[in-house]
């Protein structure tokens, strides 16, 4: 029995629109309990979807924000992560080609955000072999058109899976019995990037059918999309163990194909059976070219700012690396090219059932999700010549500029005659991720005072992640006498935004497909790199109970989730002739409490408190060593990394309190204060270890995960959403976060993924003829791992993005939409977190445009 004010027409707007899954923390009413005068709303426009978003938040039994699709194929952004940045308290980090990739909720590291599909984990992998293997879902794999809505849980409830210290994002797909019979949808589109001449094309189709009795339905959706991704960068490595700088171009034309099938059978009002299968494949073939000035041990004519080669050695001229001057004796002036034939797939298959009795509901689901990926084979090449007196090559550099970099060689970088092959290799990384799961949930109506419902459930999961690496031996003489002219494909251009001072803005472009194919055709044999093999297994048992309560002017829930986790990590031993097994286990009690008080009909005071946890990433648990050199490095520094199978998860206690004012049915003003006390962070430390049974024996500086000393995240978020009338409306979100962690020496650092200030503003106009939307997002500087390099201590400068879309409603069923992303062509800047804090990467991802026509009947 819900509170009296929940039985008004405003609640009726929510019935059937909020999550129908039993695992949701949103308050909803079953049809059998709803009043007969329920008003049905068909969500077909911006104003209607925003009104539904407000209702979802208003009647939630937790701190939840949502984004609802205006209609099939009308999700507000092409990229799901970019849609999420419009939610108060959410900010994103952008990936290799400038699209949203990582989601941070309330200033928490993006790796601590949990992403689910219909309440379940989705297996996914990446393609960049230098990136850590994480649990984060790869947003590039999910077509936005397949998503009916997103829910962002900032406070947990016991019935939702553990794993989100930052929060949990639930992606929701459609069900055929929720749609009109014989619903059909189709779209075609084209997209371009301002840094490319190519055009990507895509098409999506949906067909949903149900019988006359509405007891059986089937939904099939297919989506195919080519996307043109570009990045033009200048990169600076002079403050690292090796010194170099480069002009880098990254091209990735991605092709994603997705297939979704949902079957639903409801033979009676009490029984509902479902089957769901999703497969999505991303062909992410890419080529990265970097024209590098690689400095050797001797650097003459250096002037200006400098860093010490060895911080523990005396500050003498021989121990200085200058960031300004002329390089007259370096290792190389050469292109370092890497082409990867990366293909990633993710699959989900599950079966669900629910039975609604007079006073109870029992539901269950069994399923499996599996994925594979990796780089598909990395074809590396080095093209150029040494920098020394014999070649006569010199390079003027300036790595101490505020917003750009200077690298001026006395060679024409478009001249292929001197760009001869100095070495090449072919290596591949293969990743596999899978999880099987089964759960049973019971919802029982009770009359225990204010407790009106008891929920309880059990869930078991078995997870396995495997990483393998292989190296190819090329046929003798495969690259003898080869130069970049044998694989060239015109010139790579558009570097003017990231370099200065006469630095070349174009150079010879490699045809990556041609070079990748040539190396693969000249493989003599493949061999497994046993030192890089690892497997992580997890068995998880979760039990929960939750009491939902309501009364006159209040509602909420209180519950506890108990979780046992057993881990097993395998890696080859130091002799590489056998596998070592490392085991660990831990358990967590995760209580949660959510309370909403109706101070008046339109004013809600909301409070919550909970304990949360996130398990370590797979790379952090892997027991073997990685990054071991096969020959003595030029720098003389022996470095490697390994995981720590015994590491405990991230753990935190969180609380928040907020006021929400719903001053009409499509307007909201809210303010919330939040606090997360991080009891257990996972950080990285460096230790000296003597390794003997490796290709290069010696004392290594080894990076390993370590249990940090914790930290604290405090902040406030403000949200305003309104409809001005006459078709105009706006959404404004602002978040302030103070996120600090303790260092081993008692100092404080800003935590990764956190900006002190972030905001987004969206304005729209909607009429029967057209709809237009303009969205602006901005965030302060933040610490985060870079897209191509970085150790988590580097900072990104403040950044802002302007997006817009215009839709012409040509007919009742036909829409034509033009969308632009990053219209101001924002250039992003990444800096070293220590030392001179000089520029590390300057990136231009260009602006993106798409034209789409869609038809529904």
Unique residue bearing structure tokens 């003599």: 524
Host H or E run for residue 79: none
Query: Is the pLDDT reported for residue 743 higher than 70?
Result: no
What pLDDT shows up at residue 2? 35
Average pLDDT taken over every residue of the chain: 86
Q: What is the pLDDT of residues 164-186, one digit of tens each?
A: 888 999 999 999 999 999 999 99
Q: Pairing mode, if any, of strands 639-642 and 625-626?
A: antiparallel
Query: Is the pLDDT reported for residue 601 higher than 80?
Result: yes
Query: Is the pLDDT reported for residue 20 higher than 70?
Result: no
Our measurement of the distance from residue 425's CA atom to the centroid of its chain's CA atoms, rounded to an integer in Å, reads 30
Residue 413 token pair: 């970088």
Helices within 465-570 (DSSP H only): 512-521
What pLDDT shows up at residue 326? 87
Contacts 24+ apart (CB under 8 A), 685-689: none
What pLDDT shows up at residue 7? 32
What pLDDT shows up at residue 21? 33
The predicted model scores a pTM of: 0.88
Rounded Cα distance, 654 and 597, in Å: 19
Host H or E run for residue 602: none
CB 455 within 8 A of CB 443: yes
Domain span at residue 607 reads 4-856
* SS3 of 652-679: EEEEEEEEEEEEECCEEEEEEEEEEEEE
Residue 715 token pair: 């902040």
Q: What is the pLDDT of residues 547-585, one digit of tens each?
A: 999 999 999 999 999 999 999 988 887 656 677 788 889
Q: How confident is the model at residue 351 (pLDDT cuts 50, 70, 90)?
A: very high
Q: What is the pLDDT of residues 497-537, one digit of tens each?
A: 999 999 999 999 999 999 999 999 999 999 998 888 889 99
Q: Give 668: exposed, middle or buried? Use CB within 10 Å, 0-12, 13-18, 19+.
A: buried
Q: What is the DSSP letter of 394?
A: -
Give the phi and the psi of residue 377 in degrees, each rounded to 5: 105, 110
What pLDDT shows up at residue 679? 81
Residue 501, domain CATH:
2.40.170.20
In 3D space, the residue among 561, 360, 325 whose CA is nearest the CA of residue 454 turns out to be 360
Rounded Cα distance, 221 and 260, in Å: 5
Q: Give 387: exposed, middle or buried? Use CB within 10 Å, 0-12, 13-18, 19+.
A: buried
Our measurement of the distance from residue 725's CA atom to the centroid of its chain's CA atoms, rounded to an integer in Å, reads 36
Q: Which residues pair with 824 in a beta bridge?
A: none
The number of folded domains in the chain is 1
What pLDDT shows up at residue 834? 74
How many Å is the Cα radius of gyration of the chain? 28
For the chain, how many residues are written? 857
Rounded Cα distance, 5 and 148, in Å: 28
Residue 489 token pair: 């494909």
Rounded Cα distance, 597 and 599, in Å: 6
- The DSSP-derived string for 106-159 is TT--GGGEEEEETTEE-------TTS---SS--GGGS-GGG-SEEEEESS--TT
Give the phi and the psi of residue 244 in degrees, each rounded to 5: -165, 165
Rounded Cα distance, 610 and 655, in Å: 7
In 3D space, the residue among 360, 557, 596, 361 whose CA is nearest the CA of residue 451 turns out to be 557
Q: What is the pLDDT of residues 286-336, one digit of tens each?
A: 999 999 998 765 555 677 888 877 777 888 877 788 888 888 887 889 999
Give the phi and the psi of residue 20 in degrees, each rounded to 5: -95, -10
């Amino acid at each position: 029995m819900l509170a009296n004010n929940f039985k008004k027409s405003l609640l009726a707007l929510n019935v059937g629109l909020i999550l129908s899954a039993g695992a949701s923390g949103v308050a909803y009413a079953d049809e059998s309990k709803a009043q007969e005068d329920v008003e049905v709303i068909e969500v077909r426009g911006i104003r209607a979807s925003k009104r539904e978003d407000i209702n979802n938040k208003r009647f939630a039994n937790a701190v939840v924000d949502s984004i609802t699709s205006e209609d099939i194929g009308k999700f507000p952004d092409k990229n799901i992560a970019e849609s999420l940045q419009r939610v108060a308290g959410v900010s994103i980090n952008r990936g290799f080609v400038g699209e949203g990739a990582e989601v941070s909720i309330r200033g928490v590291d993006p790796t601590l955000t949990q992403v689910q599909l219909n309440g379940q984990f989705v297996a996914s992998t990446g393609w960049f072999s230098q990136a850590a293997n994480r649990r984060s879902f790869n947003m590039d794999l999910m077509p936005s058109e397949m998503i009916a809505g997103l829910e962002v849980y900032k406070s947990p409830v016991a019935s939702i899976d553990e794993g989100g210290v930052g929060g949990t994002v639930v992606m929701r797909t459609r069900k055929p019995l929720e749609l009109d019979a014989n619903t059909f949808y189709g779209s075609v589109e084209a997209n371009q990037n301002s840094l490319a001449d190519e055009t990507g094309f895509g098409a999506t189709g949906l067909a949903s059918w149900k019988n006359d009795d509405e007891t059986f339905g089937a939904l099939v959706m297919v989506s195919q999309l080519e996307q043109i991704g570009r990045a033009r960068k200048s990169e600076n490595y002079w403050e690292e163990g090796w010194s170099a700088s480069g002009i880098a171009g990254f091209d990735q034309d991605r092709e994603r194909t997705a297939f979704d099938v949902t079957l639903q059978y409801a033979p009676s009002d009490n029984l509902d059976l479902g089957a769901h299968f999703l497969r999505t494949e991303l062909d992410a073939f890419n080529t990265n070219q970097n024209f590098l000035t690689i400095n050797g041990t001797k650097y003459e004519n250096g002037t200006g700012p400098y860093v010490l080669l060895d911080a523990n050695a005396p500050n003498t001229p021989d121990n200085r690396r200058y960031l300004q001057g002329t390089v007259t004796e370096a290792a190389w002036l050469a292109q370092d090219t890497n082409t990867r034939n990366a293909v990633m797939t993710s699959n989900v298959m599950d079966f669900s059932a629910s039975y609604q009795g007079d006073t109870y509901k029992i539901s269950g689901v069994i399923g499996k999700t599996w994925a594979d990926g990796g780089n598909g084979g990395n074809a590396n090449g080095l093209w150029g010549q040494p920098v020394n007196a014999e070649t006569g090559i010199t390079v003027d550099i300036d790595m101490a500029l505020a917003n750009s970099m200077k690298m001026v060689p006395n060679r024409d970088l478009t001249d292929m005659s001197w760009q001869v092959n100095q070495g090449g290799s072919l290596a591949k990384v293969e990743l596999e991720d899978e999880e099987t799961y089964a759960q049973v949930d019971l919802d029982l109506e009770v009359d225990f005072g204010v407790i009106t419902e008891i929920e309880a459930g059990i869930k078991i999961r078995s997870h396995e992640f495997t990483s393998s690496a292989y190296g190819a031996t090329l046929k003798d003489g495969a690259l003898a006498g080869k130069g970049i002219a044998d694989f060239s494909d015109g010139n790579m251009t558009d570097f003017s935004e990231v370099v200065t001072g006469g630095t070349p803005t174009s150079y010879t472009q490699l045809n990556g497909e041609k070079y990748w194919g040539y190396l693969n055709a000249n493989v003599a044999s493949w061999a497994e790199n046993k030192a890089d093999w690892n497997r992580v297994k997890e068995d998880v048992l979760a039990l929960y109970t939750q009491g939902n309560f309501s009364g006159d002017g209040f509602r909420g829930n209180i519950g506890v989730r108990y979780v046992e986790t057993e881990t097993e990590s395998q890696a080859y031993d130091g002799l590489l002739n056998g596998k070592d097994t490392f085991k660990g286990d831990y358990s967590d009690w995760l209580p949660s409490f959510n309370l909403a008080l109706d101070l008046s009909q339109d004013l809600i005071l909301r409070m919550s408190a909970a304990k949360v946890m996130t398990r370590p990433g797979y790379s952090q648990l892997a027991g073997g060593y990685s990054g071991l050199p096969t020959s003595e490095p030029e720098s003389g520094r022996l470095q490697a990394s390994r995981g720590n199978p015994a590491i405990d998860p991230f753990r935190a206690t969180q609380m928040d309190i907020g006021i929400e004012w719903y001053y009409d049915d499509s307007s909201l003003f809210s303010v919330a204060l939040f606090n997360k006390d991080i009891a257990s962070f996972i950080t990285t430390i460096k230790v000296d270890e003597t390794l003997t049974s490796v290709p290069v024996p010696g004392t290594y500086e080894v990076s390993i995960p370590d249990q940090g000393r914790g930290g604290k995240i405090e902040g406030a978020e403000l949200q305003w959403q309104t409809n001005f009338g006459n078709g105009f409306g706006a959404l404004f979100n602002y978040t302030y976060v103070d996120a600090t962690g303790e260092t081993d020496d008692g100092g404080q650092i800003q935590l990764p993924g956190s900006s002190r200030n972030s905001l987004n503003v969206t304005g729209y106009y909607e009429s029967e003829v057209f709809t237009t939307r303009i969205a602006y997002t901005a965030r302060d500087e933040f610490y985060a791992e870079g897209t191509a390099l970085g150790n988590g201590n580097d900072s990104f400068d403040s950044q802002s993005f302007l997006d817009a879309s215009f839709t012409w409603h040509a007919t009742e069923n036909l829409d034509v939409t033009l969308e632009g992303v990053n219209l101001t062509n924002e250039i992003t800047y990444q800096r070293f977190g220590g030392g001179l804090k000089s520029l590390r990467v300057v990136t231009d991802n260009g602006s993106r445009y798409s034209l789409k026509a869609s038809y529904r009947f």
